[in-house]
Each structure stands twice: as C-alpha cells, then as structure tokens.
C-alpha cells in the first residue's frame, strides 16, 4: 500500500521537493543502551552497552564500561565480562539458547553521569517451525529474485527476522534490511510458500546470476526482539507523510535503559539460482 501512496504522491505533488535543513534540537540527558541478543549457537554470547548521544553528534556510540552482567536461566547463571573493547561484554563460558526457556538479564553498577543503574529484562523464544527449504523465482520483469520459505509445521505466534546471504556474503547488513514477519499481523499465515525476501537485482550487492548461492538466515525471534526490531525499522524509515507519529522504540529493559535483550534460534537454508528459474520468469 505504501507504494500506492508513493505513486499517488508522485503524480499529485509534482513539485514536492526535499532539501537539507539546519535544526537546533533540545538537549536531554543521555541514556544507557543495551544490545543483547543471545542465539542458539554454542559461542561466547555477547552483550553491548553504550550511551546515547546528541542526535547530531555524528560520532560512533561510546561504550559503557564497568557494569556487572549476568544471565540466569534454569537456575544456571552465566557471567559476562567486559572485553578490551569498551562496552562489549562476553560470556565467560560458551552456551547456547534453547527454546521455551526464559532467560533473565541482570545488569548492575552501570554508571552513567554519576548515577548507578540496575537493569533487568527477560526473554523466551518458541520452538521454530520446521523450515525445510527455500525456493527461488525470477520476477516477470526480471528485476528481482523472490525467495520463498517452505515449512512443514506451523507453530502459532512465531516471529521471524530474515537476513539474505549471497555467496557467503551478508546482504542484509543493517537492521533496516531485515525482513520481519509475524502471525500477529494478518492472522494465521501459512509458512509453506511464503514470499520472505526480494533480492533487488538493480543493487550491486544483491544482483544474482546463474549458479549464485542464495541463502536466508531465518532468526526465530522472541516477542521482545520482534517488537524492538519492528519499532526500530519504523523509526529508521520514518516518513512524516505516511508514518504514524514518531515514538520511542520499544524496549523490554526495566530500570531506565533502552535497547533490547532478546533470544533467538537460527536456521539457514540455501538454494542455487539456475538458468531454468531465470527462463521460467515466475515460479
């Protein structure tokens, strides 16, 4: 529907224009930002702590050092320690996330502008659908390659974030390029044959030819992570002419911080782009 609006807007507002402008914005106190996504890979899991900065500061986020972080699940406590990079904390031991278990984050002694914060959050992910394969189709106008998901069972209420990989190179390298879908939006979606990604052949990073291996990384994500990503995408692609009024991004952190603590499981499926697919023009 957004594209319809765009067409209408193009035709009606032939003279609408955009130009850079200078703004002076009010200053408000900074906040702690938590970015902690735990996965089902057996690794040293990572949690990042940073600080917000003035909107036009135009610098990399500054890490927040000195905090104490633990994650508790099933009476097990995993301790995180700060690495050499300020604000980057890794678990002392390797561990991986399992479905249907609640993971509890506790951060203490996070000090910002002389004030100490204690932060908490929880997250749980459901069992993933059994994703069997992906299939590819060329669009009629040969502008894109569509990727379809095929899953056997349908678990109510799952949320997915999809990232595309072409020949082992991540295509979706920013948060705004993740494709999100959830059953909450349009009732029960069948995941067998769902169009989940569109590789734009006009973009150099996404242009695919015969024999290219297209992979989709399906992140089966917790409700909290989904809410955060959904809100973050809306905020990052905010268009005042079409979007809802701006609002702060969802957070599941209590204690005055923003950001997200979430858990997810990962499935990667691949398919090869063949000449037959290209010739067929559509699936």
Partner 1 sequence: MKRTLTVITVLLLFVLNTTAQKTYTLSGTISDAETGEVLIGAVAYIASEEAGVSTNAYGFYSLKVKEGIYSIAFSYLGYETKNIEINLKNDKKLSIELKPAAQKIDEVVVVGQKKDENVTSIEMSVNTLPLKTIKSLPSFMGEVDILKSIQMLPGVQNVSEGSTGFSVRGGDVDQNLILLDEATVYNAGHLMGFFSVFNNDVIKDVKLYKGNIPAYSGGRLSSLLDVRMKEGNNKKYEAKGGIGTIASRLTIEGPIVKDRGSFLISGRRTYADLFIPLMNKDDLDGSKLYFYDLNTKLNYKINDNNRVYMSGYFGRDVFGSSFASMGFGNQTYTTRWNHIFNQNLFANLSFIHSVYDYEMGFKTEDKTMGVDINSKIKDYTGKLDFTHYAMNKLKLKYGVSATYHRFNPGYLENTGTNQIFENKDIHNQNSMEYAVYLSGDYEIAKNLKATIGLRYSVFQNIGKGTVYQYNDNYESNVSVSYPSGEVFNTYSGAEPRIGINYTINNQNSVKASYSRTMQYMQLARNSNGGSPLDIWFTASPNVKPQISDQWAVGYFRNMFDNKLEISTEMFYKDMKNTIDFKDHAQLVLNNKLEGELRIGDSYSYGFEFMGTYTSPKLTGWISYTYSKARRKIPELNNGKEYNSPFDKPHVLNIAANWNITNRLSIGLTWVYNTGAPVTLPNQRLEIDNTILPVYGSKNSERLPDYHRMDLSVTLKSKPKRRFQSEWNFSLYNLYGRKNAYSISFKPSDKNEPHTIYAYKTYLFTFVPSITYNFKF
**Contact set for partner 1, span 53-82 (CB under 8 A):** 53-61
d(CA 248, CA 52): 13
Count of CB atoms within 10 A of residue 169's CB?
10
Residue 246 interacts with partner 1 (CB under 8 A)? yes
Characterize the bridge pairing of strands 258-272 and 32-38: parallel
Q: Which of 113, 204, 240, 279 binds partner 1 (CB under 8 A)?
A: 240
- The H or E element spanning position 227 is helix 223-236
Residues 1-20 that bind partner 1 (CB under 8 A): 1, 3-5, 7-9, 11-13, 15-20
Residues in the interface with partner 1 (CB under 8 A) total: 78
Rg over alpha carbons for the chain, rounded to the nearest Å, is: 21
Query: How many CB atoms are closer than 10 A to CB 9?
Result: 13
Q: Which is nearer to partner 1, 49 or 273 (CB)?
A: 49
Measured from the CB of residue 264, what is the shortest distance to partner 1 in angstroms?
Answer: 13
**Residue number with CB closer to partner 1 (73 or 218):** 218
Binding to partner 1 (CB under 8 A): which residues in 156-175?
173-175
User: How far is the C-alpha of 218 from the C-alpha of 244, rounded, in Å?
Assistant: 28
Q: Could you tell me the smallest distance in angstroms from the CB atom of residue 109 to partner 1?
A: 21
- Alpha carbons 223 and 220: distance in angstroms, whole number: 10
Taking the complex as a whole, the smallest distance from the CB of residue 153 to partner 1 amounts, in Å, to 16
Q: How far is the CB of 76 from partner 1 (least distance, A)?
A: 27
Residues 182-201 that bind partner 1 (CB under 8 A): 186-190, 193-195
CB–CB of 242/2 below 8 Å? yes
| Residue 278 makes contact with partner 1 by CB under 8 A | no
**In the complex, least distance from residue 93 CB atom to partner 1, rounded to whole angstroms:** 25
Query: Rounded to an integer, what distance in angstroms lies between the CA atom of residue 57 and that of residue 50?
Result: 14
Residue 67: exposure state from Cβ atoms within 10 A (0-12, 13-18, ≥19): buried
Note whether 282 binds partner 1 by CB under 8 A: yes
Among 203, 238, 254, 268, binds partner 1 (CB under 8 A): 238
Using rule CB under 8 A, residue 21 touches partner 1:
yes
Nearest Cα residue to 184 out of 162, 151, 223, 157:
157
- CB neighbour list of residue 257: distance below 8 Å, 6 or more residues apart: 31, 32, 33, 34, 107, 110, 117, 119, 251
Among 242, 268, 272, 275, binds partner 1 (CB under 8 A): 242
Q: Give the x-and-dash track for 114-153 against partner 1 (CB under 8 A).
A: -----------------------x-xxx------------
Using CB under 8 A as the binding rule, whether residue 88 contacts partner 1 is answered as no
Which listed residue (63, 235, 255, 267) binds partner 1 by CB under 8 A?
Answer: 235
Backbone angles phi, psi at 229, to 5 degrees: -65, -40
């Amino acid at each position: 529907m957004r594209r319809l609006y765009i067409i209408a807007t193009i035709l009606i507002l032939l003279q609408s224009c955009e130009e850079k402008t200078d703004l002076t914005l009010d200053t408000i106190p900074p906040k702690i930002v938590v970015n902690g996504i735990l996965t089902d890979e057996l690794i040293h899991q990572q949690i990042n702590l940073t600080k917000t900065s003035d909107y036009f500061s135009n610098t990399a986020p500054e890490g927040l050092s000195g905090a104490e972080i633990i994650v508790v699940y099933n009476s097990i406590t995993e301790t995180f320690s700060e690495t050499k990079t300020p604000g980057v904390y890794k678990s002392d031991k390797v561990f991986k996330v399992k479905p249907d278990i609640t993971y509890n984050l506790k951060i203490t002694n996070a000090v910002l502008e002389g004030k100490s914060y204690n932060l908490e959050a929880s997250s749980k992910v459901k069992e993933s659908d059994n994703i069997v394969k992906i299939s590819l189709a060329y669009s009629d106008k040969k502008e894109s390659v569509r990727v379809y998901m095929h899953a056997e069972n349908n678990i109510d209420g799952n949320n997915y974030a999809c990232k595309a990989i072409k020949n082992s190179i991540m295509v979706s390298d920013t948060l705004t390029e993740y494709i999100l879908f959830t059953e909450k939006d349009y009732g029960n979606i069948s995941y067998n044959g769902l169009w989940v990604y569109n590789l734009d052949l006009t973009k150099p990073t996404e242009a695919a030819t015969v024999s290219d291996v297209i992979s989709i990384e399906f992140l089966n994500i917790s409700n909290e992570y989904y809410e955060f990503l959904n809100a973050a995408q809306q905020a990052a692609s905010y268009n005042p002419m079409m979007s809802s009024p701006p609002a702060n991004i969802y957070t599941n952190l209590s204690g005055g911080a923003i950001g997200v603590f979430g858990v997810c499981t990962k499935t990667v499926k691949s398919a090869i782009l063949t000449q037959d697919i290209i010739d067929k023009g559509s699936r």
